[in-house]
Amino acid sequence: MTVYTEKMHVMNTYARWDVTIVKGSGTTVWDHTGKAYLDCTSGIGVTSLGHCPPAVSAKLHQQLDTLWHSSNVTQHPLQEELGKKLTELSGLDQVFFCNSGAEANEAAIKLARRYAQKTKNEDRFEIITFEQSFHGRTLATLTATGQQKVKEGFNPLPAGFITVPYGDVEAVKNVTTNQTCAVLLELVQGEGGVHPASMEFVTELYAWCKSNDILLMIDEVQTGIGRTGEWFSYQHYGIVPDVITLAKGLGSGFPIGAMLATEAVAAAFSPGSHGTTFGGNQLATTAGMATLLEMEQQNVLSHVKAMSEYLLDALKDIAKQYPHQIKGVRGLGLMVGLEMTGEVSGYLKAAQQKGVLLLQAGPNVIRLLPALIIQKSEIDQLVLVLKEILQSGEK
């Protein structure tokens, strides 16, 4: 295993940790020295069933000896099987498969405009998004993102996106015009600091979109596939949106994305209007279907709810003990933010040294995205490490 210390041959687009992961199993990963870590990042919300889940691995190995890829101009029974499963779980009607969350959101943006312009014959193209949101790194999705830092140096940005304060329905109403075609929303902002939307906000926004014939599109890239304790975060709010986007946890680490829509909206796409070379190939859809079936068989959603309660209670206890270092705890399911009074990079480094991998969401929030199979004993390990760091002042 080569660990590079000289000039790298990969572009410098990541502020990489000084950790080289070479192996993973369940909630544990090992670096090139053999040191083990409790992984509370799950590859930024990707390896929801843990690393190399045996049930998914077995299905992938079987498919590897059968067929990896064929063009999307051929019939794809595995796509249809996974699509049927996703529509049953979501209450939506049709699926477009792609490779990533950014591609899923790009597809949603295109679908919203095409639905307005081709199906309804209306000159609508504007999409309302929210401050501190994150929707991807393509030009359209970074423009939709409500964080200026991801936009710097990429001007001119595409027109047609209006960003308003998160949770503010009146702001949405104020910028709605006869050119508004959709609202794009994360119900728990991940990169923006782990902020769950309030029930009042979602209920009012949903009613506004319905009464004004505006599509409500929910970005479930990080929240979807059980992360919040339901298959999709909108199921906590008693609504069914027009469009949702998925990726991350759908394939247990194998790259796959998906956009789902109601039948009426999906009909705006026709042959040639959108497409992908690799999206939804045989390996990706095998991983997706195996992931969903394993989650059902292992009753993962119930486990997430139980572990979420256990984790949040433990973190709230810590917050009471260290009020000068912790401002608050928030989250939904196993998507949790620990807001600190100062920058958190030092806390992450100290945790790494003690064998726990954590994320951050902005400068002051420790973000926890453990595998959905995490156990109480592993949460106890995490809590113990956090207490040790806070007690010692390591950061």
The C-alpha atoms of residue 300 and residue 283 are separated, in whole angstroms, by 23
Amino acid identity for residue 119 in this structure: T
Is 101 annotated to bind ligand? yes
- Residue 270: what pLDDT? 96
The answer to whether 291 is annotated as binding is: no
Q: What pLDDT does residue 143 have?
A: 98
Instruction: Please report the pLDDT score of residue 27 as a whole number.
Output: 98
Half-sphere exposure of 376 (CA within 13 A, CB side): 6
Exposure letters 347-359 (e unless 16+ CB within 10 A, then b): bbebbbeeebbbb
pLDDT of residue 6: 56
Looking at residue 103, what DSSP letter applies? H
137 is in an annotated binding site: yes
Instruction: List, for residues 317-326, the tens digit of each pLDDT value.
Output: 999 999 999 9
The predicted model gives 95-116 an average pLDDT of 98
Dihedral angle, C-alpha 180, 185, 191, 194, nearest 10 °: 140
Beta bridge partners of 38: 28, 356
Asked if residue 282 has pLDDT above 90, the reply is: yes
Q: Give the separation between CA 55 and CA 49, rounded to whole angstroms.
A: 10
Q: What is the rounded distance in angstroms from the CA atom of residue 68 to the CA atom of residue 59?
A: 12
CB of 34 closer than 8 Å to CB of 27: no
pLDDT (tens digit per residue) in 10-34: 898 998 999 999 999 999 999 999 9
Question: What are 46's two structure tokens?
Answer: 């990707």
Structure confidence at residue 9 (pLDDT): 86
Per-residue pLDDT band for 8 (boundaries 50, 70, 90) equals confident
CA-based nearest residue to 197, from 164, 166, 174, 232? 166
For residues 104-123, average pLDDT: 97
In this predicted structure, the answer to whether residue 1 has a pLDDT above a threshold of 90 is no
CA distances from 133 to 142, 203, 253 (A): 10, 19, 23
Query: Model's pTM, two decimal places?
Result: 0.96
The answer to whether the annotation marks 222 as part of a ligand binding site is yes
66 is in an annotated binding site: no
Q: Please enumerate in sequence order all residues whose Cβ is within 8 A of that of 151, keeping only pairs 6 or more positions apart, or say none.
A: 142, 143, 145, 157
Does residue 395 have a pLDDT over 90?
A: no
CATH of 54-298, one of 3.30.300.30, 3.30.300.20, 3.40.640.10, 3.90.1200.10: 3.40.640.10
pLDDT at 5 over 80: no
223 annotated among ligand-binding-site residues: no
| pLDDT exceeds cutoff 90 at 338 | yes
143 is in an annotated binding site: no
Domain with CATH 3.40.640.10 in the chain: 54-298
pLDDT at 394 over 90: no
Determine whether the annotation assigns residue 189 to a binding site.
no
User: What CATH architecture is 21-53+299-392?
Assistant: Alpha-Beta Complex (3.90)
Quote the percentage of the chain above a pLDDT of 90.
Answer: 95
Nearest CA-CA partner of 344 in 389, 391, 392, 382: 389
pLDDT computed for residue 307 by the predictor: 98
Q: Would the annotation count 26 as a binding residue? A: no
* CATH 3.90.1150.10-classified regions of the chain: 21-53+299-392
Helix/strand/coil for 51? strand
User: Is 2 marked as a binding-site residue?
Assistant: no
- Which tens digits make up the pLDDT trace of 193-220? 999 999 999 999 999 999 999 999 999 9
Q: Is the pLDDT of residue 391 over 70?
A: yes
**Is pLDDT of 91 > 70?**
yes
**Per-residue pLDDT averaged across 50-55, rounded?**
98
pLDDT at position 156, please? 97
Q: In angstroms, rounded to a whole number, what is the distance separating the alpha carbons of residues 73 and 214?
A: 32
CB 316 within 8 A of CB 323: no
What is the residue-averaged pLDDT of the chain? 96
